[in-house]
Structure formats: structure tokens, C-alpha cells
Chains A and B, each alone.
Chain A
Amino acid sequence: MDYILRAENVTKQYAGHKALDNVSLSVPKGSIYGLLGPNGAGKTSFIRILNQITAPDGGTIELLGQALNKKHIRNIGYLPEERGLYKKMKVGEQAMYLTQLKGLSRVDAAKRLKYWFEKFGIESWWDKKVEALSKGMAQKVQFITTVLHEPELLIFDEPFSGFDPINANLLKNEILELRDKGATVIFSTHNMSSVEEICDDIALINKSKIVVEGNIDTIRKRYAPDIYEIIFEGEFTNPDLAMTSDYEILQTTPLNGETSIRLKQLNDNFSANDLIKFLLPKGELKSFRQIIPSMNSVFISLVEENDQPVNN
């Protein structure tokens, strides 16, 4: 696979604590990559290193096939969690300023801003002062200045915090559109529902360490706790199944003439096929599926698991 970003054994130490402990991850080109973790896990520290706001104490980072260097500033668009604008400056001037700082010429900046302002239908804001904008309006401006220089890598730190549902949806669609145009998006969050909706790959950071990294579906399956849902025609009661020690019945729910049953596999040698063979003679089988846990439950269980040995 083609990776836009590779980090290897990145370490960052602040007085008193380790912010990043041997963090290694690879972001596939053209993907939406979720950087997950509880508050204080080290997400922002890592992102600040990518943006060269701080430097790592150890490890290597490669962006677009080259060791991270000053020229890469042009290739990254960053929307930080703590974001704002100069209140007294006019929207247009400010957007021009921020874009020029990314290395665009005045002419280019003006041309592209015009396109985005029209796209969002906010041309009339150009001469307004930022203090006259609502929070949502200001965030649209921030979003535009983040993506305007068409960077290969976009980094959003908690992008949906503070967005109302309409703007959050708009933002989500824009992010997907940018991905479709070839950009790679890293976004950091502790909000799992947004991760499932748009992320292709994730890395879960907890206590400065990577807990798990990879394709989101693979991860969810890997952490599926082997629970199956079976639906039979008609009313079923537990004794009817006369379960063996290979399975445990968690729940039986009669519903509209059907019965839904949740089973947990106890014996690793007993496969789903064995289960189906065992179930078929018992009645009219309507449905059989493995329950894949939500990212949220994977996240919580992994973080809890990860926390336990450290609780000393």
C-alpha cells in the first residue's frame, strides 16, 4: 500500500511526563485516518510534531516519501482544536493573510478564496469584521483557510467540536469530497460515532502509546467478542436449544412471531459452521450473523484493558 505518512518510534518527553512513547503509525494515501484516544493521550502532541510546531525527541517521520522538513508546511493544512481568528480583522483580509502564510501568492490566494466563498455562499462576509460573525460562521472561514492551499495532507483536530449539526454535516461532506479528490485526511477525535461514519483507518492512542492501528473494519472484527445473533421462526425457549458447554445464551427475545437469540461462543475450537450445523435441526432458521461491536465499545474496552495494568 502507498503511504503518505510514516511515523516510526516517535517519542516526545515533557518535563515530568512522556507525551508520546514509541509511536509508530502509517497513513495510507487517500484515506481518512482517525487518530483516536481519550483526552490527554498524546494526539495533539503528535499532530503538533507533524506540523513542526514542536520537534520529536526521538524517532523518524516521513511525509510524501521524505523526512519531515520545512517545505512540508505547504503540503499540510491544519485546523487545530484551539482555533480562532483575529477579531478586529476583516474576514477577507484575514483569509488572505492566513493563506499567504502558507506560501500562496496574493493573486492565487484571492482567486481561490473567491471560489470557496462562493461555494459556501458567504461572499458578503468579505468586508465584515470577524467579531461580527457567529461561531459557526467563523468556523466556515477557518475551514476554508485550512484547505485553500490544496494540501496533500489535511489534519483536523476535533473538527466537530463546537459545530452545530448542519455545519458538522457540511464539514463532513467537504472532508469526504476532499478525500475523493485525492487528499489524505487525518483527524483526531474522541467522538466515536464520527469515526465510524467517515474513517477508513484508525490508530488508537492511550497513555502516549499506540494501542491498536489499522483498517477500521479489521479492527472491529478482531475485537468482536464472538457473539452471534440467530433468528428462528416461531416461539423458542431456552431448553429447546439444549446448549452444550460450547455456547452460552445471553438473551432470548420473542418478536412478531419470531425469536431472536444472542449466543456467546465459549469454545474457540467450535466454529460458526459447527454452530449452524447444530442449530439447523432445531427449527426454521431465518437469520444468522456475527455481532460486530461499535467502535465506541472497542474503544472503551481497549482503553479500560490498557489502563488496568497501569493502575498501581
Chain B
Amino acid sequence: MNRTSIIIRREYLSRVKKKTFIIMTILGPILFAALMIVPIWLAQIKDTEEKTIAILDDSFLFVDQFEDSEYLKYEYLQSMDVDAALELMKQNDFYAVLYIPNNIVSTGRSSAMMYSYKQPGLAVQMELLNHMEKYITDAKLQIKGEELGVEKEALRNVIKAVETNVDIKTRIINDNGEQKSTSTEIAMIIGYIAGFLIYMFVFMYGSQVMRGVIEEKSNRIVEIIVSSVRPFKLMMGKIIGIALVGLTQFILWIILTFGIVTAAQFILLDDIKGFQQSPQMEQLISSNAQVGNSPIQDQFSGKIENALNALSSINFPLLIGAFLFYFLFGYLLYAGMFAAVGAAVDNEADTQQFMLPISLPLVLGLIVMFSVINSPESSLAWWFSIIPFTSPIVMMVRIPFGVPVIDLVLSFSVLILSFIFMVWLSGKIYRIGILMYGKKVSYKELWKWIRYKN
């Protein structure tokens, strides 16, 4: 086995065997899966507590119009003022008092008031709202119909006929004249996630490289090692070893998250149909159905269809390939700098002064990313997706929107060349720094080290 691979092996194994790595690798997916599963699961749990809602109806439109459901009972109060109603709520242990003012129909934007001790759940509000909207629409139709001398139902049909819902679907035409449906939202989400992951990876594992170098320096083992291995090999062994640790963790996260989500769906959610039939979804769909026609439902399923089409239009091999490339080379570019910083200092507290040139471009990349999502064609987007210090983050956001091959090739080559240059430069600092103790180093000093011949 050659020496670099011995070093890579140690760097890799010593980290993968650490308790923190194992805990992070297991906890990460549980956390991710929980973020996906728990909201759906919670939505599925039915609220089985029986609630009584008192209705104080000054408009007298809704008398006996609220029908009791399984868990929601209604009690109509005599005309009284709100304070008296609240007093009654206290005495009778009502869940809430719904006060409907008498101008509920005449005002443009109607609002009723609900009083309760606890913030009422969405399900309760939605049910009340459905009832009220339905009857208010009905009441308005009745009044307008009488004014115009038209049947209520005829009026309803007219409204249905003129209701419009506009949606812009996007289709991209490529050079061969083929068309593809796309979705800006999907492209945004994918780009954002990819860019952010790369940002995180570079920071997390880059600083591991730095800590590793500081550890070797403060342990005083480094001189023993560099008497067997050239410092550059030690540095590269460390950088590559840690990159493999990162990849391992990343792949395990994806596999485990996927596994947990699948298992959890199976156990907690019966199946995916069960989710669609959850009471809230049903309510949402049925409420839409009740209010006039179902254009919203159409729009809803239309969006899903569009999104699925858009997903299939994204060039996934390119996206994944580019992601792995930027993930790795973005890290490699910065890892050398992290190693150089580690070598220049005696302990972690001293790293602050040298962190700026590393964290500034990374954070800048993240900031530019947000602007690029809005205008992926801008010259800002172009420049920052070519400049190697920001390209791994910014280019990942551009790719789902479609990037000319020439831009990709340019960005890739610039990044690879910069990586080679950076590692060479860092190696020069590293080589001197690791054997330098107890000296406060300045940028000027680093420049001197770079110019040393051997």
C-alpha cells in the first residue's frame, strides 16, 4: 500500500469509527424523516374530543343552519351581548363562542369573531367557515336574485360560467424543436437544496480538515509523520480521507432517510391513499366542491400534474452528475485553504483571523444564490457560476433552469484548475506551518512561506 493511501485509510477510519460520526449519521436521517413524516402523521390523527360551540347570531341568518357533526356540537344562544355570552361559555364549558354580527352579509369582506380559551384548531375553523360561506353565498344569491328578478339557481350558473382561473404553464423548446414542460418552482427548489447542501458540506468537512491539522500540530506527531511522508501527501491524504467520510455520511443519510420514510409511511400512514383520505384533505376537497364548482381542485391537481411533468423534464443525470462534481471539487478547493489555516496556527482559537478569506466567498455564494433563483439569466449569475469560489453553489441553482454546455465546461475547468492551484499554494503554507510553533503568524508571514523554495 502506498503511503498516501495509508494516510487516507487512517483519516477515514478514525473518523468513521468515532461515536459522534455514528450518532450524527443515525440522528440525521431520523431528523430528516421526522420533518417529512410528522406533519403528515399529525394531520392524520383525528381530533376525537367532543366540542360544543356556542353561536351568538345577530344576523339571524344561521339559526339552526349549523349541523352537528360527530365531534362538533352547536348551541344557539339567545340574543345577548358578547360579555354575557362569554360568561355563559365559562359556566357551560363551551369550547368557543362564535359571534356573527348582523352586517355579515352586507359588508364586502365578512368576518365573524370566535372567542375561545385556547387557539382553536384549523379543523374547527374550517368547518365553521365552510358552513358560513355556504349560507352567506346562498343568502346573497337569494337577495341579488330577488333584486334582479332572476332565479337563485340561474344566478349561480351564471357565476360558475364566468369564473376564470388562469395559470401559466411553461414549456421549453430545445434546439431540435422538442418541447418540454417545466416548472420554475421545482427548478428553484432543487437548485436551492443542492446549493445549500454544497455550502454546508464545504463548511462542515472543510473545518474538519482544519481541526485535523491543528490536532496533529498540537499533538506534536506531525514531525514524526513528515519524516516518512512528504507534507503534501499528508495534507492530500487528510483532505481525501475526510472527503470520503463526507461522501459516506451523505450517502448513508440518503439511504437511511429514504428507508425510514418508507418504513414510517408503511407503519404510520397505512399507505399513501390513507393520507389523501385524511379528514383534512377530504374537508379541503369537499369544501372546494361545496363552494361553487371545483376549479380550485382542478387547479390543485393541475399543479401536481404540471410539477410531475416538470420533474421529468429536468435532466437528472446532468443534475446529479454536476451535483457530485461541485460537491466534491467545491470541497477540495476550500479544503486546501482550511488545511493551510490549520497549519498556520497553534490552536483553534487563533483561526479567526484567517477564516475571512474562506467564509466570505462561501457566504457570498449563498447570498448570490438567492438572487440567481429569481433571475438565472443575469450576468451576475453567469459570473458567479464561473468564479470557482462561488461556482459550486451558484451553478447548482442555474442548472435546473438550463445552462449552455459551454458555461458548464468553462465552470468545471476553472474549478479544477483553481483546485490544483489552491492545493499547490496551500501545500506551501502547510509544509512550513506544521513545523512552526509558538509564533503568531500574519498574512505577510504566510506570503513569505509561499515564496520559500523548499
Q: Tell me the A residues contacting B by CB distance below 8 Å.
A: 14-15, 48, 51-55, 57, 73, 76, 78-80, 82-89, 97-98, 100-103, 142, 145
15 example contacts (A-B, Cβ-Cβ < 8 A) are as follows: A15-B452, A53-B227, A53-B231, A76-B227, A80-B224, A82-B220, A82-B223, A84-B220, A86-B221, A87-B219, A97-B10, A100-B1, A100-B6, A101-B6, A102-B228
Contact A73/B228 with A55-B454, A97-B10, A101-B3 known, Cβ cut-off 8 Å: yes
Is there an interface contact between A97 and B6, defined as CB atoms closer than 8 Å? yes
* Alpha-carbon gap, A80 to B220, bound state (A): 9
Is there an interface contact between A84 and B454, defined as CB atoms closer than 8 Å? no
Of chain A, the residue at the smallest CB distance from B223 is A80
B220 contact set on A, CB distance < 8 A: 80, 82-84
Is there an interface contact between A88 and B448, defined as CB atoms closer than 8 Å? no
Beyond A97-B6, A100-B1, 7 additional pairs, beta carbon < 8 A:
A15-B448, A57-B453, A86-B219, A87-B219, A101-B6, A101-B229, A102-B228
CB A180 to nearest CB in B, in angstroms, measures 24
B437 contacts partner chain A, Cβ-Cβ < 8 Å: yes
B225 contacts partner chain A, Cβ-Cβ < 8 Å: yes
B205-259 with Cβ < 8 A to chain A: 215-216, 219-221, 223-231
A86 contact set on B, CB distance < 8 A: 14, 215-216, 219, 221
Contact A101/B225 with A54-B454, A55-B454 known, Cβ cut-off 8 Å: yes
B227 touches which one: A15, A51, A85, A97 (CB < 8 A)? Answer: A51
Is there an interface contact between B228 and A98, defined as CB atoms closer than 8 Å? yes
Contact A98/B219 with A82-B437, A88-B14 known, Cβ cut-off 8 Å: no
A78 contact set on B, CB distance < 8 A: 224, 227
B435 contacts partner chain A, Cβ-Cβ < 8 Å: yes
A98 contact set on B, CB distance < 8 A: 224-225, 228
B1-57 with Cβ < 8 A to chain A: 1, 3, 6-7, 10, 14
CB A83 to nearest CB in B, in angstroms, measures 6
A101 touches which one: B215, B228, B435, B448 (CB < 8 A)? Answer: B228
Is there an interface contact between B221 and A85, defined as CB atoms closer than 8 Å? yes
Is there an interface contact between B226 and A145, defined as CB atoms closer than 8 Å? no
* Alpha-carbon gap, A117 to B196, bound state (A): 50
CB A267 to nearest CB in B, in angstroms, measures 53
CB A117 to nearest CB in B, in angstroms, measures 18
A101 contact set on B, CB distance < 8 A: 3, 6-7, 225, 228-229
Of chain A, the residue at the smallest CB distance from B220 is A84
Is there an interface contact between A83 and B221, defined as CB atoms closer than 8 Å? yes
A142 contact set on B, CB distance < 8 A: 224
Is there an interface contact between B226 and A53, defined as CB atoms closer than 8 Å? yes
> Would you call the interface of chain A mostly helix, strand, loop, or mixed?
loop
Is there an interface contact between B435 and A145, defined as CB atoms closer than 8 Å? no
Contact A89/B224 with A84-B219, A100-B6 known, Cβ cut-off 8 Å: no
- B-side interface residues, number (CB < 8 Å): 26
Q: Tell me the B residues contacting A by CB distance below 8 Å.
A: 1, 3, 6-7, 10, 14, 215-216, 219-221, 223-231, 435, 437, 448, 452-454
* Alpha-carbon gap, A48 to B6, bound state (A): 23
CB B283 to nearest CB in A, in angstroms, measures 56
Point out which of A79, A86, A97, A101 has the most chain B C-beta atoms below 10 A from its C-beta: A101
Contact A53/B228 with A15-B448, A84-B220, A86-B219 known, Cβ cut-off 8 Å: no
* Alpha-carbon gap, A145 to B221, bound state (A): 12
Contact A73/B227 with A55-B454, A88-B14, A97-B6 known, Cβ cut-off 8 Å: yes
B227 contact set on A, CB distance < 8 A: 51-53, 73, 76, 78, 80
CB A89 to nearest CB in B, in angstroms, measures 7
* Alpha-carbon gap, A79 to B452, bound state (A): 25
Of chain B, the residue at the smallest CB distance from A79 is B224
Is there an interface contact between B10 and A84, defined as CB atoms closer than 8 Å? no
* Alpha-carbon gap, A14 to B451, bound state (A): 11
Is there an interface contact between A83 and B228, defined as CB atoms closer than 8 Å? no
Of chain B, the residue at the smallest CB distance from A54 is B454
Of chain A, the residue at the smallest CB distance from B225 is A101
* Alpha-carbon gap, A142 to B7, bound state (A): 18
B230 contact set on A, CB distance < 8 A: 52
Is there an interface contact between A83 and B14, defined as CB atoms closer than 8 Å? no
Of chain B, the residue at the smallest CB distance from A70 is B230
Is there an interface contact between A85 and B6, defined as CB atoms closer than 8 Å? no
* Alpha-carbon gap, A80 to B3, bound state (A): 20
* Alpha-carbon gap, A85 to B6, bound state (A): 17
Is there an interface contact between B453 and A145, defined as CB atoms closer than 8 Å? no
* Alpha-carbon gap, A125 to B103, bound state (A): 87
* Alpha-carbon gap, A53 to B436, bound state (A): 13
Of chain B, the residue at the smallest CB distance from A102 is B228
A82 contact set on B, CB distance < 8 A: 220, 223, 435, 437
Of chain A, the residue at the smallest CB distance from B216 is A86
A84 contact set on B, CB distance < 8 A: 219-221, 224
What are the 6 A-B residue pairs with the smallest beta carbon separation, nearest first?
A84-B220, A55-B454, A80-B223, A101-B228, A84-B219, A51-B227
B223 touches which one: A57, A83, A100 (CB < 8 A)? Answer: A83
CB A131 to nearest CB in B, in angstroms, measures 10
Of chain B, the residue at the smallest CB distance from A16 is B448
A80 contact set on B, CB distance < 8 A: 220, 223-224, 227
CB A248 to nearest CB in B, in angstroms, measures 49
* Alpha-carbon gap, A160 to B1, bound state (A): 34
A15 contact set on B, CB distance < 8 A: 448, 452
CB A190 to nearest CB in B, in angstroms, measures 18
* Alpha-carbon gap, A99 to B166, bound state (A): 73
CB A42 to nearest CB in B, in angstroms, measures 15
CB B352 to nearest CB in A, in angstroms, measures 24
B454 contact set on A, CB distance < 8 A: 54-55, 57
A85 contact set on B, CB distance < 8 A: 219, 221
CB A134 to nearest CB in B, in angstroms, measures 16
CB A45 to nearest CB in B, in angstroms, measures 10
CB A194 to nearest CB in B, in angstroms, measures 21
CB A60 to nearest CB in B, in angstroms, measures 15
* Alpha-carbon gap, A87 to B1, bound state (A): 25
* Alpha-carbon gap, A76 to B226, bound state (A): 12
